[in-house]
């Protein structure tokens, strides 16, 4: 890995999020043209971010949901019991 | 002194439900909070890695919300306010348990252990992950990779890349500076990418 490759690895999130100065972006883009390994690395990072964005949430199991509602009811009653009147 | 209007970040329907709850309508609480049940449960599940702890985090977050919602003025988005509570609940739970001290992720660890395959080139961008792919093997690998992150990196990745909050919102929720959020996020992404590399290179040659 060359110093330029390291620099790209260090800054690729900032590059992808548009946080870099124009001159810095141009330098990175020049390096990307010349380095297949860094192009592949950048694709992998983009791909990782996309994978996170598409990660499917697990459904809340009905018994977990029911237990949570019971706790909320108990808490509500406890709060009411401490209120005057 | 010039008085400024308080910032209101609630949606109109949330504002109405909050006013009803603050006026004593208990049913409004569930209508206001329950739409976030799946998000908070999944946040707990990914932070702790098991259903039992995720259930505790869900319950503690909502109980705390019930206690403090009477005084909530809408100065933060409701979802972000709940994530702030959930993060704090996770942190307390982590302190009480006997976890090993958190390790740091340094960028240098990615310099010499990089298995990037040159086969995966820009042309592969069109094959970005879709929902179908993530429901299967990749979904499990991704969960395991995120689970391998030290917690202080994991929480940032979950809020920013999974939940889609902005770096500013994540900084606000975690009481961190925006540059610190971005630095942790970058290291977290590189770590997850490294964990998925076998899968990624398999894709590239398939």
Domain identity same for B89 and B159: no
Per residue in B112-137, pLDDT (tens digit) is 666 665 555 544 554 666 655 656 77
Interface test with B, best of A12, A53, A60 (most B CBs within 10 A): A60
Domain identity same for B115 and B83: no
* Complex prediction ipTM: 0.92
Q: Which two tokens stand for residue A1?
A: 């890995």
CB contact residues (below 8 A), chain B span 135-154, against chain A: 135, 138-139, 142-143, 146
Q: Which residue of B has its CA nearest to A49?
A: B161
CB of B190 within 8 A of CB of A9? yes
Number of neighbours of residue A61 by Cβ within 10 angstroms: 13
Answer whether A56 sits within 8 Å of B59, measured CB to CB.
no
Domain that holds residue B83: 12-96
Tell me what pLDDT residue B128 has. Answer: 61
What torsion, rounded to 10 degrees, do the Cα atoms B143, A41, B156, A62 define? Answer: -20
**Residue B134 belongs to a domain with what CATH number?**
1.10.10.10
Domain identity same for B151 and B78: no
Residues in chain B with CB shorter than 8 Å from the CB of A60 are 37-38, 41, 58
Per residue in A28-85, pLDDT (tens digit) is 999 999 999 999 999 999 989 999 998 889 999 999 999 999 999 999 888 888 877 6
CB of B111 within 8 A of CB of B200? no
* Model confidence at B95: pLDDT above 80: no
């Amino acid at each position: 890995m060359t110093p330029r490759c390291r620099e790209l690895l260090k800054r690729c999130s900032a590059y992808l999020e548009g946080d870099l100065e124009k001159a810095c972006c141009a330098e990175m883009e020049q390096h990307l043209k010349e380095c297949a390994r860094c192009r592949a690395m950048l694709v992998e990072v983009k791909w990782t971010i996309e994978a996170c964005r598409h990660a499917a949430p697990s459904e809340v199991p009905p018994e977990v949901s029911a237990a949570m509602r019971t706790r909320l009811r108990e808490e509500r009653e406890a709060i009411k019991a401490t209120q005057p009147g | 002194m010039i008085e400024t209007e308080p910032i209101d970040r609630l949606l109109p329907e949330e504002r109405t439900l909050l006013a009803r709850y603050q006026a004593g309508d208990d049913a409004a609480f569930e209508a206001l909070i329950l739409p976030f049940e799946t998000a908070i449960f999944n946040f707990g599940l990914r932070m702790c890695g098991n259903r039992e702890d995720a259930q505790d985090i869900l319950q503690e977050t909502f109980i705390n919300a019930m206690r403090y919602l009477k005084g909530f003025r809408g100065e933060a988005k409701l979802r972000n306010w709940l994530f702030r509570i959930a993060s704090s609940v996770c942190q307390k739970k982590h302190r009480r348990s006997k976890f090993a001290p958190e390790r740091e992720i340094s960028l240098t660890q990615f310099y010499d252990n990089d298995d990037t395959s040159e086969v995966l080139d820009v042309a592969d961008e069109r094959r970005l992950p879709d929902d179908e792919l993530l429901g299967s093997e990749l979904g499990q690998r991704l969960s395991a990779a995120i689970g391998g992150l030290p917690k202080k990196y994991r929480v940032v990745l979950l809020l920013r890349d999974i939940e889609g909050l902005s770096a500013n919102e994540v900084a606000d929720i975690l009481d961190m500076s925006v540059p610190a959020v971005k630095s942790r996020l970058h290291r977290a992404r590189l770590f997850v990418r490294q964990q998925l590399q076998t899968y990624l290179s398999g894709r590239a040659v398939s």
